[in-house]
């Protein structure tokens, strides 16, 4: 969206929330001339969540000062944000972390958006867990024509510990939602794990020829919890 359309976008957002809509608003960055105006518009809608680009302790402080009590999704997309990730994750009001892979790669001068950035992904996942937040949101897949690329990125993000993914186009939404939901095979496996442990009275058992102990049981229960959401 070009600079000349920012005002129109704010009007559309205000209309959405004014009619009872819910959602997360990605505001313009704190280093742009539109940041304060975005926050002023959102002041009338305290239940609207906010996604903060290039989140770092300084920019977060500004948001929390102007919007106390606002739920914030912090986008980690700069080297500064990653270096201070634990301060970002523990900041009052921050409810989840997300990875801005494109901007992070540019800021870190690392070409590519895939496995090259996995060290950053690992830190984001650990910081989320340490702060007691939900698993983080991975960055975008820029390929719009080849669905296999999106499928591979979803699987990679899940294996890295992410539980959601940003979309760059509406056509990706259904695929991403389905990709992060437990599959029928996952749910069946989880039921068998929990059932086997229940039948054993909590003792270590084997399922499909593999030992099942507490970490495996915790994973199975997490899958069943996700399946209910």
We report the CATH number of the domain holding residue 103 as: 3.20.20.60
Give the C-alpha separation, 18 to 103, whole Å.
Answer: 32
- Cα dihedral 156, 162, 166, 170 sign: positive
Domain end, chosen from 144, 161, 180, is at 180
pLDDT value, residue 62: 84
**In terms of domains, do 173 and 205 share one?**
no
pLDDT value, residue 109: 95
pLDDT value, residue 227: 80
Q: What is the pTM of this model?
A: 0.87
pLDDT value, residue 104: 96
Alpha helices in the chain (DSSP H): 6-18, 35-42, 57-66, 79-83, 85-90, 101-108, 118-130, 147-160, 173-180, 184-200, 214-228
As for how many domains the chain has, the answer is 2
Q: Which domain holds residue 219?
A: 184-228
Rg (C-alpha) for the chain, rounded Å, is 20
Backbone angles phi, psi at 73, to 5 degrees: -95, 120
Give the C-alpha separation, 154 to 180, whole Å.
Answer: 7
Residues 6+ apart with CB under 8 A from 170: none
* Residue segments in the chain with a per-residue pLDDT below the cut of 50: none
**Could you tell me if 175 and 154 are in contact, meaning their C-beta atoms sit under 8 angstroms apart?**
yes
**In terms of domains, do 132 and 147 share one?**
yes
pLDDT value, residue 94: 96
**In terms of domains, do 109 and 190 share one?**
no
Give the C-alpha separation, 149 to 122, whole Å.
Answer: 21
pLDDT value, residue 1: 61
Domain end, chosen from 143, 165, 180, is at 180
**In terms of domains, do 110 and 20 share one?**
yes
Give the C-alpha separation, 177 to 186, whole Å.
Answer: 15
**In terms of domains, do 14 and 94 share one?**
yes
**Could you tell me if 25 and 15 are in contact, meaning their C-beta atoms sit under 8 angstroms apart?**
no
- Going by their DSSP bridges, the two strands 72-76 and 49-52 should be labelled as parallel
**In terms of domains, do 116 and 157 share one?**
yes
């Amino acid at each position: 969206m070009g600079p000349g359309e920012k005002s129109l976008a704010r009007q559309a957002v205000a209309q959405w929330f004014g009619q009872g809509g819910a959602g997360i608003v990605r505001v313009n960055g704190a280093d742009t001339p539109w940041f304060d105006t975005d926050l002023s518009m959102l002041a009338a809608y305290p239940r609207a969540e906010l996604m903060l680009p290039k989140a770092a302790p300084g920019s977060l402080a500004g948001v929390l000062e102007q919007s106390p009590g606002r739920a914030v999704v912090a986008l980690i997309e700069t080297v500064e944000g990653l270096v201070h990730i634990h301060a970002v994750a523990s900041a009052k009001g921050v409810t989840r972390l997300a990875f801005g892979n494109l901007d992070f790669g540019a800021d870190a001068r690392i070409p590519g958006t895939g496995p090259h950035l996995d060290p950053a992904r690992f830190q984001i996942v650990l910081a989320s867990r340490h702060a007691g937040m939900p698993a983080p949101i991975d960055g975008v897949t820029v390929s719009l024509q080849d669905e296999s690329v999106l499928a591979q990125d979803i699987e990679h993000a899940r294996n890295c510990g992410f539980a959601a993914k940003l979309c760059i186009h509406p056509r990706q939404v259904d695929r991403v939602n389905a990709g992060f939901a437990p599959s029928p095979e996952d749910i069946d496996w989880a039921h068998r794990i929990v059932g086997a442990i229940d039948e054993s009275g909590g003792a270590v058992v084997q399922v499909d020829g593999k030992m099942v102990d507490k970490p495996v049981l915790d994973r199975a229960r997490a899958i069943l919890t996700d399946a209910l959401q």
